[in-house]
Amino acid sequence: MKLRFLGGTGTVTGSRYLLSDDHHRLLVDCGMYQGVKTLRRRNWASFPVDPASIDAVVLTHAHIDHSGYLPALVKNGFRGKVYCTPATHELCRVLLPDAGYLQEEDAKYAFRKKFSRHEKPEPLFTVKDAWEALKHFESVGYHQKFEPVKGMEVHFTPAGHILGSSCVHVHHKGAARTVVFSGDVGRQTDLIMRPPEPIEHADVLVCESTYGDRLHGETDPEQDLADIITKTAGRGGITLLPAFAVGRAQMLLYVIHKLMSEGRVPRMPVFLNSPMAIKATEIFCKYHQEHKLNPRQCELIDDKTQFVRTVEESIQLDSVRYPCVIVSASGMASGGRVLHHLKTLLPNPRNSIVFAGFQAPGTRGDALVNGAAQVKVHGEYWPVKAQIHNLDSMSAHGDYQELLAWLEQGSLKPERVYITHGEMLASDEMRKRITETFGWPAEAPELFEEVEI
């Protein structure tokens, strides 16, 4: 059996791994590249193997950097099935059409502004392509064994990262070998997600390394957030939280309402301005048995949050000048309605912008947490006068200590570990730590590298 790294090497986006034997090809994750332009450009290169030659796809979770290329894969000839957990399936029904919509908008914008090399710029895929891709989906619950291609038996175990997220275990019956893909791995103690389930066996492990060179720190993120919101409101300002529509948006809303009900933050309006996050919150509440919040706590999010659905409501919210909290997507401020709020809120020192997750290099979020004096939004530069906070202790990824603790919990003894899904330095640090801690041979593969397993 061969494993080829078609993405997710030297970067946290574009996860795509191809398993193949003499008869079949199985793709694990089919992510889009995000962040700096050289990476985003890779979305437009032709897929490194003919999509029609891939027999099936298995997804670790719904985030776009793991699922977002699927509509393009189908558009370019993939005819097989896409397997994932039921919650991942439901979340993809929200995320993929939205990604198609953004692609269409980008193409229209490039056409209007004439900055495309093409006469009529085409989107990478459309909303219609996304729905077409969704017809290929099939849901399988955690721990249930299935054979997406003959001879390769697969099952999912909970990864604790976002709703529906999983580690993918692939057992090649003929070769009697098991490869496990960690996907994105959650925290040992997360506010809303249960910890990732330990992995009991893998001959080969493909492990993420988003925080391979970092720790989340000892401070209490709830208290940090309480302090920021209270101080900001005290000076008459607004706290804006750019958040991933799936995962962190629900966590932040829960924490904010909890802080308010405990009297640790003064009561003020809380807005969720992201149609996608609103839908994701509904799905999150529906699957309450898969996370830590009970139906009553989910209701609390639902009852106390003001959902901003229409464009008109969003524009109205932008003119609000009283203390409030706004949660809006996207989490790295690379697109979405949060951009409008940034334009209004950044130039005023009374306001606070709070990031609560990993900021990929090249994104506005990364520029802001690194102290940029101005950022470009919609073609214009905006001065950064608001206070910028980076609470990455609220991230949905375990840091390297948590990852090592998780790996230690199982009875793992892999022959080899491949470190992916990290910036180059983070992956390399993770590689060293795994080898030093467990004595397992580990390496960070290069893009398109193929290994025999």
Residues of this chain that interact with Zn ion (CB under 5 A) are 63, 184
CB 4 within 8 A of CB 448: yes
Distance, in Å, from the CA atom of 99 to the CA atom of 316, rounded to the nearest integer, reads 25
For Zn ion, the closer of residues 205 and 260 by Cβ is 205
Counts for the chain of helices (H) and strands (E), in that order = 14, 22
For Zn ion, the closer of residues 265 and 391 by Cβ is 391
Q: Cβ of residue 231: shortest distance to Zn ion, in angstroms?
A: 31
CB 285 within 8 A of CB 254: no
Q: Cβ of residue 411: shortest distance to Zn ion, in angstroms?
A: 26
Among the listed residues 79, 76, 122, 70, the one whose alpha carbon sits nearest the alpha carbon of residue 97:
70
For Zn ion, the closer of residues 31 and 100 by Cβ is 31
Specify the residue for token string 């209270």. 230
Q: Cβ of residue 159: shortest distance to Zn ion, in angstroms?
A: 9
Q: Cβ of residue 249: shortest distance to Zn ion, in angstroms?
A: 13
Report CA Rg, the chain: 21
Among the listed residues 64, 429, 4, the one whose alpha carbon sits nearest the alpha carbon of residue 210:
429
Distance, in Å, from the CA atom of 294 to the CA atom of 285, rounded to the nearest integer, reads 8
Q: Cβ of residue 165: shortest distance to Zn ion, in angstroms?
A: 7
Position closest to Zn ion via CB: 63
- The amino acid occupying position 16 is R
Distance, in Å, from the CA atom of 237 to the CA atom of 168, rounded to the nearest integer, reads 45
Distance, in Å, from the CA atom of 35 to the CA atom of 58, rounded to the nearest integer, reads 24
Q: Taking CA 59 as the corner, what is the angle to CA 55 and CA 61, rounded to the nearest 5 degrees?
A: 170
For Zn ion, the closer of residues 64 and 226 by Cβ is 64
CB 285 within 8 A of CB 301: yes
For Zn ion, the closer of residues 185 and 369 by Cβ is 185
Q: Cβ of residue 440: shortest distance to Zn ion, in angstroms?
A: 24
For Zn ion, the closer of residues 210 and 351 by Cβ is 210
Q: Cβ of residue 68: shortest distance to Zn ion, in angstroms?
A: 11
Is residue 240 within a helix (H) or strand (E), and if so which, with residue range?
A: strand 239-242
Q: Cβ of residue 394: shortest distance to Zn ion, in angstroms?
A: 14
For Zn ion, the closer of residues 63 and 248 by Cβ is 63
For Zn ion, the closer of residues 16 and 63 by Cβ is 63
Q: Cβ of residue 63: shortest distance to Zn ion, in angstroms?
A: 4
Is residue 88 within a helix (H) or strand (E), and if so which, with residue range?
A: helix 86-113
Q: Taking CA 136 as the corner, what is the angle to CA 132 and CA 138, rounded to the nearest 5 degrees?
A: 140
Distance, in Å, from the CA atom of 270 to the CA atom of 305, rounded to the nearest integer, reads 5
Specify the residue for token string 């097989």. 80
CB 183 within 8 A of CB 168: yes
For Zn ion, the closer of residues 184 and 222 by Cβ is 184
